[in-house]
Amino acid sequence: MSRKAKRSLTTNTWFLFAVAFFAVFPIWAPVMWKHLATEIFIIALFAMSLNMVLGRGGLPSFGHACFYCVGGYTIALFMMKLHFPFAIAVIAAPVVAAIFAAIIGYFSVRLTGIHFAILTLGFSQLVWAIAHKWYGFTKGDDGITGIPVPAALRGITHYYYFVFVILITCLLLIRIVQNSPFGNTIVAIRENRERVTFSGLKVWHHLWLNFVIAGFFAGLAGSLLVLLNRAVFPDFGYWTKSAGVVLMCIFGGVGAFIGPIVGAAIITLLEHYISIYTFYWQLVLGCLIVILVIFLPGGICGFIENRLRGEKKITEEVPYASQSRGP
Is residue 49 classed as helix, strand or coil in its secondary structure? Answer: helix
Percent of the chain with pLDDT over 70: 90
More confident residue, 35 or 309: 35
Mean pLDDT to the nearest integer, 183-199: 89
pLDDT score of 304 more than 80: no
What pLDDT digit, counting tens, does each position of 95-140 carry?
Answer: 999 999 999 999 999 888 899 999 999 999 999 999 998 888 888 8
Domains of the chain in sequence order: 34-324 (1.10.3470)
H or E segment and range at residue 144:
strand 144-145
Distance CA 136, CA 27 (A): 44
Distance CA 297, CA 51 (A): 16
Partners of 232 in beta bridges: 144
pLDDT score of 321 more than 70: no
pLDDT score of 276 more than 50: yes
Distance CA 297, CA 303 (A): 8
For the ranges 29-43, 190-204, 235-249, 296-310, the lowest mean pLDDT is seen at 296-310
CB neighbours (10 Å) of residue 93? 29
- Amino acid present at 313: K
pTM for this prediction: 0.89
Which one of 105-119, 212-226, 273-287, 306-320 scores highest in mean pLDDT?
A: 212-226
* Average confidence score pLDDT of the chain: 86
More confident residue, 9 or 52: 52
Mean pLDDT to the nearest integer, 147-164: 91
Distance CA 214, CA 321 (A): 47
- pLDDT for 312: 52
What pLDDT digit, counting tens, does each position of 15-50 carry?
Answer: 788 889 999 999 888 999 999 999 999 999 999 999
Which one of 62-71, 107-116, 277-286 scores highest in mean pLDDT?
A: 62-71
Strands (E), 223-303: 231-232
Q: Using H for helix, E for strand and C for coil, what is the string for 155-186?
A: CHHHHHHHHHHHHHHHHHHHHHHHHCHHHHHH
